[in-house]
Amino acid sequence: MGAQIIDGKKIAELVRAELKLRAEKLIQSGIKPGLAVIIVGDNAASGIYVRNKVKACSEVGIYSEVHSFPSSAQQSEVLNCIQSLNENPHIHGILVQLPLPSHFENNRVITSIAVEKDVDGFHLYNVGALVTGNTIFSPCTPYGVVVMLERNHIPIEGQHAVVIGRSNIVGKPMALMLLERGATVTICTSKTRDLHEFTKNADILVVATGKPRMITAEMVKPGAVVIDVGINRLPDGKLCGDVDYESVKNIAGYITPVPGGVGPMTITMLLCNTILAAERAQANIKNR
């Protein structure tokens, strides 16, 4: 029996339809949700991500604005921009597209974002809140993975989850979010010795290594839930994940495709965090 395919595109559409209704409700109450995106330099992939974020915002009724800086910009210029966005009542979410040029200090820039507008959840305060189980904003990619599991009624509590990858954007927050939901979590990296010994025991396997097709069928427990966060461009121009989809789909119980799996969920959860930020701002106005 082949794996059930977790259709990220379909789940993203459903969630976006719900977000549109929440945005309409906010607009009726006089608050148009607003997102500001800061991009520094001319990284081609970042440019595409930002354009996709702007388009997705307009589709669900979120106002968005982009602040672009050349790679030669000084950090202080970006900090000043963030300061004025922090004070702007029309902006509920602020994100700084990563990577920043090497002369920037990532944490200095990210921690200058107001905690209640940090819709990426990358501010050190928000990272600490996530660690202690008092999440303010869940980082978008792992949040999207959790929603994909939930919408497919896949249990997390008591399951052995293996996360491969230790990035601040995916691996680490993913492990914390699964732990918070009662999973037994093992964190590996692409360099883990005898990696298959770990992956073979995973009920839920989340792969975020950036190594094309590194997870093969022999490494997967029959019936496991396999979530592929990777998106890699092959020499022939085609996209593939970190999981060897063609072989693993015959072993796994559930699997996410690439493209059309986790990818569409990441921007959806950014929209979700922005709406949440606007709803919180509205509640604060009401309670004043």
For ligand GUN, the binding residues (CB under 6 A) are 95-98, 120, 140-141, 169
Give the residue from 269, 229, 286 showing the smallest Cα distance to 93.
269
Which C-beta is closer to ligand GUN: that of 156 or that of 265? 265
- Of the residues 118, 120, 203, 244, only one is catalytic, namely 120
Active site residue 120: yes
Both structure tokens of 21: 């209704």
Residue type, 10: K
Active site residue 53: yes
Give the residue from 181, 78, 87 showing the smallest Cα distance to 130.
181
Cα–Cα distance measured from residue 168 to residue 145, given in angstroms and rounded to the nearest whole number: 15
Contact call for residues 95 and 50 (beta carbons, < 8 A): no
Which C-beta is closer to ligand GUN: that of 141 or that of 199? 141
Smallest distance, Å, CB 133 to ligand GUN?
22
Which C-beta is closer to ligand GUN: that of 4 or that of 68? 68
- Of the residues 53, 117, 172, 221, only one is catalytic, namely 53
Contact call for residues 277 and 138 (beta carbons, < 8 A): no
Cα–Cα distance measured from residue 56 to residue 64, given in angstroms and rounded to the nearest whole number: 10
Which C-beta is closer to ligand GUN: that of 242 or that of 244? 242
Smallest distance, Å, CB 271 to ligand GUN?
13
Q: Cis omega (within 30 of 0) on the bond before 89?
A: no
Smallest distance, Å, CB 266 to ligand GUN?
6
- Of the residues 97, 172, 221, 249, only one is catalytic, namely 97
Residue type, 181: R
Q: Render 137-161 in DSSP notation, one character per residue.
A: S--HHHHHHHHHHHHTT---TT-EE
Smallest distance, Å, CB 269 to ligand GUN?
9
Active site residues: 53, 97, 120
